[in-house]
Structure 1
Amino acid sequence: MTLSLEIEIYLSKKNYTAQDAINNILFFSESIKEINNSERWFLTGKTKEDALKHKIIDNGLINSVVADLLIKKLNKTPPIFVTSIWNGSSDNIRIQNYLCKSSDNFRLTFSLKIKNVIGLAERLKNALLGILSNKDNIAVIFVQTNHYQMEEKNVFPERIPVGWMLYLNKEVTKEQVPMAAQLINIENEKNTGTLMISTNEVFDGTDELHIKKANEIEIQLAAYGLLPTYQDIYS
């Protein structure tokens, strides 16, 4: 079974630059390598053939020539920097700043097609824990599958969905969200908060039981004022 997996990560950094975008492209493509097994990433282009000529990452290394081309392109629209890379197949990573009226806030969106194999849930959890241990100023991470939010399966359209996994940069307790399968407290030099996992098994955004569980967690979080709106993410 193949899943459509989407991960969104909301961060902030003062004076965000084109070089920051390049650094994030490398860091986050490496962070998810154990999930989608992609070693090579390319810039987008007008055609597939054109895009495949511009390999920006190969086995964890940045192609400096292609990176310089991207930096020149991004520097035409400062302070706003928007770019995407893809793996030559179905996976892509998009980086966009200027969120909530600030160019210091930015979002990464991973859109991946992955096989539902044994150990996927644990590998994904470990990838998120690695990101939270090594990248600072993370406000929110959420993970969903099979277009859970796009198909309007979440409860609150204006608020962050829970879906499969949700990290908030605040403490959440088991008493507040008893329906969560796991709560992992995060407290390190980079981030402090809670990673919530709605189901221990791989979450399916089209499964009615999984949807019901995620919905109940969303309602519980909202009742305690813990589920932010998109406008409130960085507040």
Structure 2
Amino acid sequence: MKHAYDISISLRHAGDLSVSILVEELRLLVVELQKLSPSLHEWLLTGDTRDSALLYGVFTCASTTTSSLSVLENRLKGGIDPRIISIWNGKEGHAAASLRIMARPAPHLSLVTFVGRPRSFSSDWNMVANVVARSAGIWAPHYVSVQSNGYWEHKAFKDRPGVGWMLYLPEVVILKQVPEAAALVPVMGKDAKGKDKQIGTIIVSVTDAPFSDENPEHVKIANAIEVRLVDQDLLPRYADL
């Protein structure tokens, strides 16, 4: 793996935008992100300087630190649209990673973005898909995309999300609809009566190697899936979200 990867999560935030709720949502995702790499076990608040960005650890084993909550409450006091919380793993170079939520009141869109350099990511597509599934459970997003840095230039449609390595859609998608996909992972949730139901599908373009935008075959497969999805009105336009 040579390039950074990003996970983009687009949603309408159903709950309130209190600092404690937003940070708890990030913590729930971090629990799964930590499994991707040892470099994702520690998270810090960002700051104006490197020294200030190393002052506050955000999470303990199972909760958020009171010091980080106090700092964030002070930073975001009086601001509600958008509320932006950014954290990072304290590493630089190929081990660096960041996680950011830009939350806006519904019906406006909110966005969660994780960016991980090669040593802060995983080459195991199953582990990455687990992070995507977890994000779907936390936020019920419109889509979740996982792409290597640079794939934006290769997407089939610039006005729609790209498939890249994998794409979550809140739809039931079967192999007959996207035969080019290497794997389809059903994401399960609960209906109004508490019964298990499929809430979406993760469409995976390649499983035999980490996706690379420098690999023409990987790009070809992802583009073909994007075309299939558009033909079936399954890949939304950004403007329609």
Question: What is the distance in 1 between the residues matched to 2:8 and 2:121?
Answer: 22
- Which residue in 2 is equivalent to 1:187? 188
Q: Say if 2:240 is the partner of 1:232.
A: yes
- What stretches of structure 1 of length at least 5 have no aligned partner? none
Pick from 206, 209, 218 the counterpart of residue 214 of structure 2. 206
1:119-172 superposed Cα distances (whole Å, 9 cap, x missing partner): 62222123333444x4252221110113211xx110111101000111100122
Q: Say if 2:8 is the partner of 1:8.
A: yes
Question: What is the distance in 1 between the residues matched to 2:224 and 2:123?
Answer: 26
Question: What is the distance in 2 between the residues matched to 1:3 and 1:18?
Answer: 32
Using the TM superposition, give the Cα deviation of residue 60 of structure 1 relative to its aligned residue in structure 2, in angstroms. 4.5
- What stretches of structure 2 of length at least 5 have no aligned partner? 192-197
Matches within 5 A, 1:48-87: 48-87=50-89
Q: Say if 2:149 is the partner of 1:146.
A: yes
Question: What is the distance in 1 between the residues matched to 2:17 and 2:5?
Answer: 27
Using the TM superposition, give the Cα deviation of residue 18 of structure 1 relative to its aligned residue in structure 2, in angstroms. 2.2
Question: What is the distance in 1 between the residues matched to 2:231 and 2:6?
Answer: 26
8 Å Cα contact 1:6/1:111 also seen in 2: yes
- Residues 192 and 118 of structure 1: CA distance in aligned 2, closer, same or farther (over 3 Å): closer
Question: What is the distance in 2 between the residues matched to 1:186 and 1:25?
Answer: 20
Pick from 94, 103, 108 the counterpart of residue 100 of structure 2. 94
Using the TM superposition, give the Cα deviation of residue 94 of structure 1 relative to its aligned residue in structure 2, in angstroms. 0.8
Give the total of aligned pairs: 228
**RMSD, matched Cα:** 2.3
Q: Say if 2:180 is the partner of 1:173.
A: no
Larger strand share, 1 or 2: 1
Q: Say if 2:108 is the partner of 1:114.
A: no
8 Å Cα contact 2:86/2:98 also seen in 1: yes
8 Å Cα contact 1:36/1:112 also seen in 2: no
- Quick one: percent identity of the two aligned structures? 26
TM-score between the two structures when normalised by the length of structure 2 = 0.85
8 Å Cα contact 2:36/2:121 also seen in 1: no
- Residues 44 and 183 of structure 1: CA distance in aligned 2, closer, same or farther (over 3 Å): same
TM-score between the two structures when normalised by the length of structure 1 = 0.87
